[in-house]
Structure 1
Amino acid sequence: MLTNGLYPDAHVLPSVIKACAGLLVVKIGKQVHGFSLVSGLSLDPFVGSSLFHFYIKCDELVSAHKLFGNMVERDVVSWSALAAGYARKGDVVNAKKVFSGTESLGFEPNTVSWNGMIAGFNRSGCFMDAVLMFQQMHLHGFTFDGTSISSVLPAIGDLGYLNSGTQVHGYVIKTGFADDKCIISALIDMYGKCGCALEMSKVFEDRGQVDLGACNALIAGFSRHGLVDKALTVFKELQDQGVELNVVSWTSVIACCSQHGKDVEALDLFREMQAAGVKPNSMTIPCLLPACGNIAALMHGKAAHCFSLKMAISNEVYVGSALIDMYANCGKIQAARCCFDRMPAHNLVCWNAMLGAYAMHGRAKEAIEIFLWMQRSGQKPDAVSFTSLLSACSQSGLTKEGHHYFESMSRDHGIEARLEHYACMVSMLGRAGKLEEAYSIIKKMPFEPDACVWGALLSSCRLHHNMSLGEVAASKLFELEPRKPGNYILLSNIYASRGKWKEVDKVRDIMRNKGLRKNPGCSWIEVKNKVHMLLAGDKLFPQMAQILDRLSRLSMEMKKAGYSPNTDYVLQDVEEQEKEHILCGHSEKLAVVFGLLNTSQGSPLRVIKNLRICGDCHAVIKFISKFEGREILVRDTNRYHHFKDGHCTCGDYW
């Protein structure tokens, strides 16, 4: 229009400004503003109002405030929009300052004004201010509407103010809002955040009609509190009732399974979702990928990656970070780095994902390089960054470097050490055999050590057979985690390694009396796009006869090569021959041999184990990697072991 010599008037310019607001193009909007000033059109009330709302929508509140001060015709709508804009941005001081300045302007707030403040504070995370504004609204004699109630309930839930939530619920029933779909969803969400599963279910059951928002809120509520079976039951019931579940419903239940150990179920649901014709979005993929990583389902993870590429969302920050985690968890550290390098921009989540990946694989040198690159790029590390860095130093025995970074946290970065950082230091020193130094750090901690800290010490005592310190750590853990069987097992193992069989029996009697049972060793391996689970000593697995036969033949070859089973890892008072037999039943050995039987020669094997890999299994898998010419990756609870040509990347230090 301008190129053709035609100049817009006061009727055209507001449409152009509205388009700039819709596209959030601040630079072009400011150019249009400049044009309106030069042409004198900015004095027109319609143009001025359009510019004001443009700046509000683009979060340019300083400019909006200036315009508001110069507007000839200010009204309650523009004033409310400015106050709500500040609230939405979390600027509590300016929001309240604008909101309380009505007397000098000659008008009073209305219900929309109050709702804007409540919703704005809730959106910006100023939950207490949202609740206080709701109370002030009531004190000033205003009647709540559906927007007021549905805006304040999420804030009440995030604060955990159950009594306030119950009062609002009572008001909802009393005033007849119980049929409002948005309010029902908000009530379910509030009770879910407050941990009230029964009340949440009751609100859902009492709803007048099936509403998708309420269904999604219920599933999310169960997920938040780890009630996976209930979430799956509700989801299946809704499917059976013919409810058209949307992408939010599917994503919520997939996330629920992925976050609470139902990884195979999460993968099955993703397949069902696609079969149902529901298209995943940029939230679904990050929810699914952890499930792929947890059980090393690499092919499923690659399929999700391809899907994200097809949807052009692979470079989004949370998708990219989830891909880094997934590939690292599946043993593909180079693929994880490739995803990191291809991302056009990195935020703190991405840097931490890559740091965590290197820590998991015991690649301390690369972790330090990433940390230094992160700082050179202008990104400030946080507490999570240092946890990964210290963990990497711990895995590689870099005690000097670990001490340096631990001290630099507060000295150079202003980050006070948390419990997890002390746990990393205790683990690092304990692994290196410096148990007394590790114990000294615990005694000097500025706060009470938690189970992670004492657990790190107990694990190190088990590694180095230190009975006296092990008993100290165990007694603390028995107080902090009386129902966790792993702590009793570790102490029992320390006694067994020293031949203290009476003490072993005492610990086992305590476990029996408490009704505790040892978690069985379990390993997962993906073969032909299917994840298989093998338990220690499993006799019912379909191919167990072939697995044991192949393992027996491998044992003979190993003995010819001079290997003898390390029966020190059998912590039972039985004959030597029986100890050898027990070692053969360890789940990681069974999974590796199952992989040998069912994959082509030379192809890599990836195994996940729920416990720490034992020294004998470590030695056996090193031998198999050379004898069979296989690359074998085993992830235990501590780290990744990458076996190749008879060597492991851990350097036998884990």
Structure 2
Amino acid sequence: MRMIKGRHRLHRTYSTVARTVSEIPPSSTTKSLQKGNQYVQLIRACKDLKLLFQIHGCLIVSGLQHDHSIIAHIINAYPLFRQCGLARITFDYAANPTTILWNSIIRAYSKSNQFQEAIKMYHNMLERGLEPDKYTFTFVLRACTGALDFHEGVAVHQEIASKQLECDVFIGTGLVDMYCKLGDLDSARKIFDKMPKKDITSWNAMIAGLSQSSNLCQALEIFRSMQMEGLEPDSVSLLNLAPAVSKLADVDACKSIHAYVIRRSMFGSVSNSLIDMYSKCGEVNVSRRIFDQMQVQDDVSWATMMAGYVYNGYFLEVLQLLDKMNQKNTKMNKVAIVSALLAAAEMRDIEKGKEVHDYALHQGVISDITVATPIVSMYAKCGELKKAKTVFLSLRGRDLVAWSSFLSAVVQAGYPTEALRIFQAMQHEGFKPDHVTLTSVISACAEISYLRFGYAMHGQADSAIALFSLMKETCVQVDSVSFISVLSACRHAGLIQEAMDIFQTMCEKHHLEPNMEHYACMVDLLGRAGLFDEVLSLIKKMPTEPNAEVWGALLGACKMHSNVTLGEVALRRLLSLEPRNPVHFVVLSDIYAQCGRWTDARMTRSNMIDYGLQKSPGCSWFELHKLGPFLSDK
């Protein structure tokens, strides 16, 4: 009903245009507008809707409303003022619309993001027996792309092929762009390779498609090929290539682009992309220099710099940027808000977190799930679990990402039992957990098992292993973090064979390369059990030199079993890696004391003093490096 009323209003608006123009007193301007090209120039230069009404009225009064080439410009102009309805009425009033008018209305709908209407008009045109030209196909391909309608896009492509228009540079580019955005890179590449002539837009479309796919290296190859063909990349080329460089973390490519930008004096949005690329390549200090040298830092610049700091773990710097933004009264966009919330959460800075939360409320973006979710995580990580629950329960449209983020934050905040309750509530609401959710749940089970370890209660470790098995059986993706969680659960519970089986499947079945944390976990587990032959065998098989985490886990196990020989080996390795860490000396001294080698114990303590180091409280080596100190009573 509302749509019908809207159409009636538009018809009344159109009908009054002629009457309105008749009331305008004759002027030299009106009398001079005799030729169609003068009207076209006026329409193109028009910046005001009321003036467009006057021009349209003059056309009607002068009898030029039947000139389809001029009316096409009127149809093209109305969407610029968000008046696509008036464009349609203008089209409907035209007698026997020609192809040029059909093209204009299809284009008008496409530009107004009314993609299905554009496709519908295309079919109406075919039903009327009109022959589409290359412009028709260009506009309808854009509509198919915007509507994400692969089936319709293929049908249009078949029509294009039947007319042998694939090689037209505009149509070919439209096809490449459509197939790239709809995920069919093979078809896009075939069309691209067949095009006898390619302009910069064609190359940019192909680069954009490959940069957003798994074929990242091909994006770089296409970029180089474009230059070999003699085409100079423009700012769009660089912006389209940026995602590939960022994902590959190719710092050399980043430097090459940076040099090109300086030579061509391309700044603005390209500078923002450079900030992002360098950040993803781990060169956050270079990103900051680019940021500081920018003449104009817009909200995107600030947000990109903050996101780069978050990506590299520079959370304090994010909060410092936040203070500078406040000093400059710079408005934060959603990316900046999320980055600030993540930083406040990691720094456990509840005051900054509340400040950003209040800002999000004031800006009216709190209803956005992408903003609300990190607010929940921030409160949970800062220990404000009640507040986190309140915000979470107020969220409308809670999705799996929101549940998973809340659950993960609660685990990280040290509330594993509460995390399991959240997991049950999530399932009760009908959400099926993904690998992120299950990994957090496994971590919660491992933590509960660790807290109860002294009582030999391994039920939670068994639950963790069962969840991990469920992930594999239901084809939920498992990653290295999932393996860390379940191996930690086995370690806390002393489940040796289970851990060895899981570690083996990680390498052989899932083809995941264990990192130092995986090896340290296994060394700690085997070492606690006194299986030192297995420990040495595992260390020898490591593809890279063990780090302090691995040797520290071995030293801790040597203390548990008074293994002096291996303890001395571990200490020598640790001294070369962390010469200023006093814990190495303390642990070896304790091993000597356990074996009654008091002279060696005193000498080790003396060496620690000679190094200018202070004795620290006793702690588990593995916890020292990854879980935080678990201090003893010493």
Does the TM-score normalized on the shorter chain lie above 0.5? Answer: yes
Change (3 A) 1:500 1:378: closer
Q: Distance in 2 between matches of 1:320 and 1:361?
A: 20
Change (3 A) 1:101 1:358: farther
Q: Distance in 1 between matches of 2:588 and 2:348?
A: 28
Does the CA contact (< 8 Å) of 1:397 and 1:432 recur in 2? no
Change (3 A) 1:305 1:422: same
Partner residue in 2 for 1:268? 255
Alignment map for 1:272-421 (pairs within 5 Å): 272-274=259-261, 277-309=263-295, 312=296, 314-315=297-298, 317-330=299-312, 331=314, 332-338=317-323, 340-341=325-326, 342=328, 344-377=330-363, 381-409=367-395, 415-421=396-402
Q: Is there any run of 5+ residues in structure 1 with no aligned partner, and where?
A: 1-33, 410-414, 523-535, 566-612, 624-654
Residues 438-481 of structure 1, C-alpha deviations (whole Å, 9 max, x = no match):
23222222433333322322233333333244235324422242
Establish whether residue 508 from structure 1 lines up as the match of residue 503 from structure 2: yes
Alignment map for 1:92-111 (pairs within 5 Å): 95-102=87-94, 107-111=95-99
Change (3 A) 1:482 1:185: same
Alpha-carbon deviation of 1:42? Answer: 10
Establish whether residue 440 from structure 1 lines up as the match of residue 424 from structure 2: yes
1:167 to 140, 148, 155: 155
2:219 to 231, 240, 243: 231
Q: Distance in 2 between matches of 1:98 and 1:307?
A: 50
Alpha-carbon deviation of 1:150? Answer: 1.8
Q: Which moved more, 1:490-499 or 1:44-53?
A: 44-53
Establish whether residue 470 from structure 1 lines up as the match of residue 464 from structure 2: yes
How many residue pairs get aligned? The number is 511
What is the DSSP-based 3-state SS (H/G/I as helix, E as strand, rest coil) of the residue aligned with 1:397?
A: coil
**Counterpart amino acid of 2:580?**
L
Alignment map for 1:72-87 (pairs within 5 Å): 72-73=61-62, 75=65, 76=68, 79-85=71-77, 87=79
Alpha-carbon deviation of 1:499? Answer: 0.6
Change (3 A) 1:482 1:299: closer
Partner residue in 2 for 1:44? 30
**Counterpart amino acid of 2:260?**
M
Residues 555-575 of structure 1, C-alpha deviations (whole Å, 9 max, x = no match):
3x3456x6799xxxxxxxxxx
Establish whether residue 255 from structure 1 lines up as the match of residue 256 from structure 2: no
CA root-mean-square deviation: 4.2
Does the CA contact (< 8 Å) of 2:435 and 2:477 recur in 1? no
Does the CA contact (< 8 Å) of 1:458 and 1:474 recur in 2? yes
2:490 to 487, 492, 495: 495
Establish whether residue 218 from structure 1 lines up as the match of residue 206 from structure 2: yes
Partner residue in 2 for 1:616? 624
**Counterpart amino acid of 2:397?**
E
Q: Distance in 2 between matches of 1:620 and 1:116?
A: 66
Q: Distance in 1 between matches of 2:243 and 2:227?
A: 18
What is the DSSP-based 3-state SS (H/G/I as helix, E as strand, rest coil) of the residue aligned with 2:232?
A: coil
Partner residue in 1 for 2:535? none
What is the DSSP-based 3-state SS (H/G/I as helix, E as strand, rest coil) of the residue aligned with 2:264?
A: coil
Change (3 A) 1:210 1:85: closer
Does the CA contact (< 8 Å) of 1:121 and 1:127 recur in 2? yes
Alignment map for 1:474-485 (pairs within 5 Å): 474-478=468-472, 479-482=474-477, 484-485=479-480
Q: Which moved more, 1:114-123 or 1:76-85?
A: 76-85
Alpha-carbon deviation of 1:72? Answer: 2.6
Q: Which moved more, 1:482-491 or 1:453-462?
A: 482-491
Does the CA contact (< 8 Å) of 2:341 and 2:356 recur in 1? yes
Alpha-carbon deviation of 1:182? Answer: 1.9
Alpha-carbon deviation of 1:348? Answer: 4.1
Does the CA contact (< 8 Å) of 1:169 and 1:187 recur in 2? yes
Taking structure 1 as the reference length, the TM-score comes to 0.67
Change (3 A) 1:339 1:236: farther
Point out the structure with the larger helix share.
2
Partner residue in 2 for 1:423? 404
Q: Which moved more, 1:77-86 or 1:283-292?
A: 77-86
Q: Percent identity?
A: 17
Change (3 A) 1:299 1:53: same
**Counterpart amino acid of 1:473?**
L
Residues 270-327 of structure 1, C-alpha deviations (whole Å, 9 max, x = no match):
234247x333343323333233333542321023214432xx3x12x32332123224
Alpha-carbon deviation of 1:419? Answer: 1.2
**Counterpart amino acid of 1:491?**
V
Does the CA contact (< 8 Å) of 2:446 and 2:488 recur in 1? yes
Partner residue in 2 for 1:130? 118
Alpha-carbon deviation of 1:128? Answer: 1.9
Does the CA contact (< 8 Å) of 1:327 and 1:336 recur in 2? no
Alpha-carbon deviation of 1:520? Answer: 2.4
Does the CA contact (< 8 Å) of 1:52 and 1:64 recur in 2? no
Does the CA contact (< 8 Å) of 1:455 and 1:477 recur in 2? no
Q: Distance in 2 between matches of 1:382 and 1:482?
A: 28
Q: Distance in 2 between matches of 1:97 and 1:328?
A: 51
**Counterpart amino acid of 2:442?**
L
Q: Distance in 1 between matches of 2:392 and 2:39?
A: 51
Q: Greater relative contact order (Cα 8 A, min sep 6): structure 1 or 2?
A: 1
Does the CA contact (< 8 Å) of 2:377 and 2:405 recur in 1? yes
**Counterpart amino acid of 2:270?**
T
Alpha-carbon deviation of 1:158? Answer: 3.7
**Counterpart amino acid of 2:415?**
A
What is the DSSP-based 3-state SS (H/G/I as helix, E as strand, rest coil) of the residue aligned with 2:579?
A: helix
What is the DSSP-based 3-state SS (H/G/I as helix, E as strand, rest coil) of the residue aligned with 2:294?
A: helix
Residues 209-234 of structure 1, C-alpha deviations (whole Å, 9 max, x = no match):
34322221111111121310111222
**Counterpart amino acid of 2:322?**
R
Change (3 A) 1:460 1:158: farther
Alpha-carbon deviation of 1:66? Answer: 8.2
**Counterpart amino acid of 1:324?**
M
Q: Distance in 2 between matches of 1:375 and 1:289?
A: 29
Q: Distance in 2 between matches of 1:361 and 1:374?
A: 19
**Counterpart amino acid of 2:251?**
V
**Counterpart amino acid of 1:337?**
L
Q: Distance in 1 between matches of 2:85 and 2:279?
A: 45
Q: Distance in 2 between matches of 1:353 and 1:620?
A: 25
Does the CA contact (< 8 Å) of 1:461 and 1:469 recur in 2? yes
Q: Distance in 2 between matches of 1:136 and 1:55?
A: 27
Does the CA contact (< 8 Å) of 1:55 and 1:63 recur in 2? no
Alpha-carbon deviation of 1:253? Answer: 1.7
Q: Distance in 2 between matches of 1:134 and 1:492?
A: 59
Change (3 A) 1:371 1:250: same
Does the CA contact (< 8 Å) of 2:43 and 2:55 recur in 1? no
Change (3 A) 1:538 1:509: closer
Q: Distance in 2 between matches of 1:52 and 1:488?
A: 67
Does the CA contact (< 8 Å) of 1:179 and 1:207 recur in 2? yes
Alignment map for 1:531-542 (pairs within 5 Å): 538-539=544-545
Alpha-carbon deviation of 1:416? Answer: 1.5
Residues 8-63 of structure 1, C-alpha deviations (whole Å, 9 max, x = no match):
xxxxxxxxxxxxxxxxxxxxxxxxxx9x9997649937689999998997786588
Q: Distance in 1 between matches of 2:391 and 2:29?
A: 59
**Counterpart amino acid of 1:506?**
D
Partner residue in 2 for 1:634? none
**Counterpart amino acid of 1:454?**
L
Q: Distance in 1 between matches of 2:96 and 2:333?
A: 43
What is the DSSP-based 3-state SS (H/G/I as helix, E as strand, rest coil) of the residue aligned with 1:554?
A: coil
Alpha-carbon deviation of 1:237? Answer: 3.2
Partner residue in 2 for 1:15? none
Does the CA contact (< 8 Å) of 1:61 and 1:82 recur in 2? no
Q: Distance in 1 between matches of 2:106 and 2:168?
A: 19
